[in-house]
Amino acid sequence: MTQGLTDAAQSAQFDFGREYIRVHFGNNVALATQQMTHSVFRTNSQAHIDHLLSCLALTGRETLLDLGCGNGFILRDVVSRLRYGAKVTAVDISPDMLELAKRNVNVAWIPVEFREGKAEDLSMFRDGELDRVMANYIFHYIEDPDRVCGEIARVLSPEGHAIVSIEAKHSMPEMYNLHFEMMKRVGFPSDFIEKLPRGRRGLMTLDNAPEFLRRAFSSVEEKPYVDSLRFDKAEQFMDFYSNGHRLLGVRAHANESTPQSMIDELYKAVEEAVAKEISEVGYFEISKQVSVFVCRK
């Protein structure tokens, strides 16, 4: 298979919809592993949260919405920058993530409300009520990007702005290419392989995000964050690949044609390939392509 799937293969992909999201984010293992890995093994000297904070350009007294707050990993740092007069609402579709966020956002000088809800429906907010909205990496799971972008624009004040963070569809190609090469080598059925995504999912991607966003906002400014993850031990990458990404969907969709022995063989093959590259080069590196879009009405 080439990097781009055929239309037939695309239509036959596994369902990564709302039920998958609830299961995948039903506990903190996958998300926390990804967050830890991106923080610890980054090559960019600037932490991603500092890039986000720069894009938010906070005065400290904003009314702010974190749309798709997850476990509160980003919100924790944002809230600590706010002061008297500010107010925060955190919304997520997963009640489990909201409970984690409540525990993680443990230094707040201002009111923080946690609410279960969908990005497509922000009817809890009046038109122009919010000074800042941040939507970090939620569009990988959004089925109607225009509706969500429209809702974000509606609730923003005329002087406010939103930040939308998106990872490119083909970010981290080194991981995906190795994964699918090893899947073929250990004998996974071709129809199973074709149903797995070759990168980040979502109708709104880094390539077409400006097109979607400009339909809702008059000003859209892209601020790239260039980074890569560098590992000098195979087990560091394997934790990210296996626990953080659940073998890129294999764990979530294994069936009778993919016995545990085959999954174990895939894990071993990937681990050996990574260890080999580390022994030859000194590290195994995967490149990331991420941008934050600053959007104004």
pLDDT tens digits along 94-148: 999 999 999 999 878 899 999 999 999 999 999 999 999 999 999 998 999 999 9
Residue 188 token pair: 């996974």
Look at 25-29, 209-213, 247-251 and tell me which has the smallest mean pLDDT: 25-29
Predicted TM-score (pTM) of this structure: 0.89
Gap between the Cα atoms of 45 and 118, Å rounded: 34
How would you classify residue 85: left for phi > 0, otherwise alpha for psi between -120 and 50, otherwise beta?
A: left
Residue 185 token pair: 């080598």
Helices 260-281 and 173-186, packing angle to 10 deg: 130
Band of the pLDDT at 82, cuts 50, 70, 90? very high
How far from 267 is each of 33, 39, 153, 185, 262, CA to CA, in Å? 17, 24, 44, 12, 9
Q: What values do phi and psi take at 134, rounded to 5? A: -120, 130
The model's pLDDT over 249-273, given as tens digits with 9 standing for 90+, comes to: 898 888 777 889 999 999 999 999 9
Give the torsion through C-alpha atoms of 278, 281, 284, 285, to 10 deg: 170
Q: What values do phi and psi take at 286, rounded to 5? A: -125, 130
- The domain defined by 7-296 carries CATH number 3.40.50.150: yes
Strands of the chain, DSSP E: 63-67, 87-92, 112-116, 130-136, 156-167, 219-231, 284-296
The model's pLDDT over 52-74, given as tens digits with 9 standing for 90+, comes to: 999 999 999 999 999 999 999 99
Band of the pLDDT at 15, cuts 50, 70, 90? low
Q: What pLDDT does 18 receive? A: 55
